[in-house]
Amino acid sequence: MAEVDLRHYKPPSGFKACVRGILQALSAKWELRGPLRPYCHGSIVVGQVIPNLVTTAWMIAIPAAAGIHYYVGPLLGTKPLHHDLLGISAVLQLVLILVLVLFVALRNPGLIQKGHGLPEGLLPEDLDAQGWPRARSICVRNVWVRQEFCRTCMLWRPLRSKHLRDSGWCVEGFDHYCQLLGTVVGRRNYLAFIALVHFLALFTLEALVVLGVGVLPHRRRASRGGRWLETLLDSPDICCAFAYALLWLCFALRILHLHWFLIARNMTTNEYVKSHWGLGNDPQRGEVPGSYANQNPFDKGCTSNFFDVCVSGVAAA
């Protein structure tokens, strides 16, 4: 056994070791994706990354509630009727957004029931050297698409699904893993996810309008006139509220832009990131045709794609 030279070794200080251990523990807990456990006949799924969900909920609820209390609250009871309607609308939208956050996080994303063994009727040439079923091809609208057998769930993985090793399940219509909510977005909670992003964008847009049209003129009149820029610079709270709302709005619009593009082409985020369609067959993935088809066989046109997603969720086959 080789000797270790300890002459130049400097052990970390107690404070540094403590801070490093705390950061490692927090990062490990933040990225933890435990096995998903379905309840209530599979309607509710537990096992999400709770710190992500709680942090996102607080990042939305606390600033929004503070803005409603400090900015919208003083407008209530004033002469224009739309001020009262604005306050009621803001509260209802905030409650709806938080309900959608919980719904997306706890809703079953599309877990597929596990199998109980190898499928029957397989021929010896259908098995590989290890005795597992080989990947097969399925023709979808004159396009060959690759279908693989999941050795963990013991089933033929449905098209456009994916097995998540951390969760231990195959997810139907897998779209992406949402880090902010700490959960998987699939066929069954995709529409709720899209609705959440739409309401979040609308809420932040209304917040910017209230700050610019209602709160800022009120501050200007309270300061006995003055220029708009001077009033804004003399109000750091409004500047921070503007920046925070604008940040959330840009984030929501970016997500909406991506998903409206994907819905129009009937693609999932997973397919878009991995470029499943439009690259041709990849010879490194085997001789089975359809591993990477030249065209998306699920694209029925923009109108039909929107209708399919609204009726059956993401990744309609």
Query: Mind listing the pLDDT tens digit for each residue in 24-78?
Result: 444 444 344 556 777 777 777 776 677 788 888 899 999 888 887 777 766 655 5
Distance of CA 72 to the CA centre of its chain: 30
User: How many other C-beta atoms can be found within 10 angstroms of the C-beta atom of residue 43?
Assistant: 11
What's the confidence (pLDDT) of residue 225? 55
CB 173 within 8 A of CB 314: yes
Q: What are phi and psi of 86, to 5 degrees?
A: -65, -40
Residue 122 DSSP symbol: -
- Which amino acid makes up residue 139? C
Residue 227 DSSP symbol: -
Comparing 225 with 9, the larger pLDDT belongs to 225
pLDDT (mean) for 112-124 = 82
- Which amino acid makes up residue 272? Y
User: 41-55, 166-180, 220-234: which has the minimum mean pLDDT?
Assistant: 220-234
> 146 by DSSP, 3-state: which?
strand
pLDDT (mean) for 9-17 = 49
**In this prediction, what percent of the chain has a pLDDT beyond 90?**
15
Q: Rounded to whole angstroms, what are the CA distances from 293 to 132, 140, 162, 246?
A: 24, 11, 17, 40
Residue ranges in the chain assigned as alpha helix (H): 14-30, 50-67, 81-106, 190-209, 216-222, 228-233, 236-264, 269-274, 302-312
Rounded to the nearest integer, the mean pLDDT of the chain is 75
* Distance between CA atoms of residues 313 and 108, nearest Å: 13
